[in-house]
Amino acid sequence: MTGSRGMDAGSEDHARAMDAQYALQRHLYDLTRKYYLLGRDGLIRGLAVPPGGSVLEIGVGTGRNLALVARRYPQARLFGLDISAEMLKSAEANLARAGADGRTLLARADATRFDPQALFGEAGFDRIYISYALSMIPGWKSALAQAITLLEPRGSLHIVDFGQQEALPGWFGSALRAWLDRFHVTPRADLFEEARRVAAAQGASLEARALFRGYAWEVVARLP
């Protein structure tokens, strides 16, 4: 089931831009992105969702990741949000094919400002993850700050996104950034620094590491 709440004028403008970008792309998105959105499957394995636990994906996209979460954690309660109504169409279809639509709630919302109680009837979540979405959210710091406040005690926030290609050849990093610019994707150079700041503010521990020679960065924040 998909709902939509709390979208202001700025959110609607961003939503329209994303819908225009993905109206056609969403049909080929998973076929093309699997070759360069590295680290997503490792993130899913690392969620370690407790039986009956709640999982929220911020920036659910086509639902590819959440469908894999559904298969790996068959007792989990699943939630996903995205600002793009077009992407949510694909997410609904993918989750239905995975047989998980009966235990999944999807909503159209802005990741920087949403009310989980109004959207899902949930005050917080055991696991929250953001996979290659912060690099597409203009107010990504606000999205990160809000996400960590929605964790239940002993909950964890998991993030994977483009890194700074720090151990890769310079030409590779330049070519990748030029390619990503075409899709309005901006790797966040201060992701680790900002994650440390918001984790400290919530009393959470933080693990941050580069993957694949800096191609991707991974962050895990855990509440006690």
pLDDT at 182: 87
Residue 172 has pLDDT above 80, yes or no: yes
User: Who's near 124: CB < 8 A, 6+ residues apart?
Assistant: 54, 116, 150, 151, 152, 155
Mean pLDDT of 99-103: 94
Shortest CA distance to 195 belongs to which of 141, 130, 153? 141
Q: Report the percent of the chain where pLDDT is more than 70.
A: 84
Give the E-state strand segments of the chain in sequence order: 2-4, 54-58, 77-82, 104-108, 125-131, 151-162, 205-211, 216-222
Contact call for residues 194 and 206 (beta carbons, < 8 A): no
pLDDT at 28: 47
Average per-residue pLDDT in the chain? 88
**Helices and strands (DSSP H and E) totals, the chain:** 9, 8
pLDDT at 1: 46
pLDDT in tens, 37-79: 899 999 999 999 999 999 999 999 999 999 999 999 999 999 9
Mean pLDDT of 211-223: 97
pLDDT at 11: 58
162/24: higher pLDDT? 162
143/23: higher pLDDT? 143
pLDDT at 139: 96
Q: How far apart are alpha carbons 162 and 189 in whole angstroms?
A: 9
Q: What is the tally of structural domains in the chain? A: 1
By three-state DSSP, how is residue 9 classified? Answer: helix
- CATH code of the domain containing 126: 3.40.50.150
123/12: higher pLDDT? 123
pLDDT in tens, 106-164: 999 999 999 999 999 999 999 999 999 999 999 999 999 999 999 999 999 999 999 99
Range of the domain at 56: 2-222
